[in-house]
Amino acid sequence: MGKDLSRLPAIEKILQALGGHDRLPRPVVLATVREEIKDLRNNEEDIPPFDEVVQQVNRKLNALSRTRLAAVINGTGVLIHTNLGRSPLPERIAEKLTAIATSYNNLELDLNTGERGKRAGFLEQSLAHLCAAEAATSVNNCASALVIILRHLVREGRHRVIISRSQLVEIGGGFRIPDILLASGATLHEIGTTNKTTLSDYREAISEETAMILKVHQSNFFMGGFVENAQTTELSALAREKGIPFCEDLGSGAVVNTEEFGPVEHEPTPAEIMAQGVDLVCFSGDKLLGGPQAGIIAGRADLIAGIKKEPFYRALRCDKLILSMLEEVTTAYLEGNTDVPLLNMLSTPVETLRDRAENIVSSINDLPAKISVGNSEARIGGGTMPRSAIPSVTLDIEPEKMSLTAIAKRLRFGEVPVMGYTADKLYRIDLRTVFSRQDKDLSEAIRKALSPLLEKQD
């Protein structure tokens, strides 16, 4: 191995040549440089010229800075995109958020008495109203909600959780309902078959060891044909007769009639589920509710009180920023205000999208690409409403001088990153998930990405 280690550049020299990295703190830059030198020392290849080393470090730093959280333009047409942070929050919440974040607040202070107060008392009351339940609380996410419900209801000797085989689902990202049950100390008591689970299957399964009956909403898939499942009202009656808690994991958690907002099916609301006699219901804050990441649990007051007393509850509780955002979204719904980005996107008329698309296209018609207005179908996403297909409008880009992969990369690497998709030999940007206030940034981004003069990006 005749490698000439004397050609290894000094760290200081590389740092100087880099001239600082505007988007990364110095210790991070330093660690990246050290790593590069270590790689140069240890790998088989000869040490490249100094300039190449600097370029390589720069590439690594740029790649690293792209892993920082940043606002992205969502041109995928998927409204609840888990990779893109799920539901965007209403802009009007920002002011409240800043105030709570940067000042002291009454998080656990009762301003009426000056004594210690109930954390999230108002929010919990509002959530209970919204779900037409006796009581409600919130935790980190819906997965946590399920875990804390199980931890409260599952105990030694009463550890079996009855669940239909049609509901042992994977939600996404490796999150599987049976795993959650097992990790929470429950014993799975699977009943019925994939396509059919009857009331008598449930009745026969109940024993001294039954902790609860769990129903999981089939959020991300659907079944047709010879399918039958015991009705929720029948199950509630059975559970009450046997004195066993009955809980439903709703997942998506729309609190409005979704079909009134767009061409989608009706999604069961927590209030409807409560009216069917369920003891507890849980759902996500950042899916169809259009709020922050949270898990909402609503239902019987004694069960909610018990859940809140679980030692584990503290590990899952929401912080003041989430609580304040959830409070804003919840109270708005209670006032009949459905001005939530998610619902607005769902209800935007196709004609409005087409007008915007035509405006954008006419502002970038001088670029080396065929750019036209296309028709598409947007989706709800986020593991909800798998059958949704919402008529939408796209910007269809066919670059003349670069590949579709290249334009996709250039748009992702831009100052305001843009995520579209490739289909039918076109790069497409769905406008249903792009805010109209982003139209200008979007056309700028497309202009830059298609501009041949742009220096090499990587």
Ligand X SMILES: *Cc1c(COP(=O)(O)O)cnc(C)c1O
Residues in the site for ligand X, rule: CB under 6 A? 141-143, 171, 216-217, 219, 249, 251-252, 284, 295, 383
**C-beta closer to ligand X: residue 289 or 304:** 289
Q: How far is the CB of 169 from ligand X (least distance, A)?
A: 7
**C-beta closer to ligand X: residue 177 or 431:** 177
**C-beta closer to ligand X: residue 37 or 255:** 255
Q: How far is the CB of 193 from ligand X (least distance, A)?
A: 20
Contacts of 91 (CB under 8 A, 6+ apart): none
**C-beta closer to ligand X: residue 142 or 343:** 142
Asked if 218 and 167 count as a contact pair (C-beta separation under 8 A), the reply is: yes
**C-beta closer to ligand X: residue 258 or 392:** 258
- Residue with the CB atom nearest ligand X in the bound state: 251
- With 0-12 / 13-18 / 19 or more C-beta atoms within 10 angstroms meaning exposed / middle / buried, residue 312 is middle
Q: How far is the CB of 183 from ligand X (least distance, A)?
A: 14
Picking from 189, 183, 182, the residue whose alpha carbon sits closest to that of residue 161 is 189
Q: How far is the CB of 148 from ligand X (least distance, A)?
A: 12
**C-beta closer to ligand X: residue 140 or 443:** 140
**C-beta closer to ligand X: residue 151 or 217:** 217
Q: How far is the CB of 299 from ligand X (least distance, A)?
A: 16
Q: How far is the CB of 396 from ligand X (least distance, A)?
A: 32
Q: How far is the CB of 69 from ligand X (least distance, A)?
A: 18
**C-beta closer to ligand X: residue 244 or 294:** 294
Q: How far is the CB of 141 from ligand X (least distance, A)?
A: 3
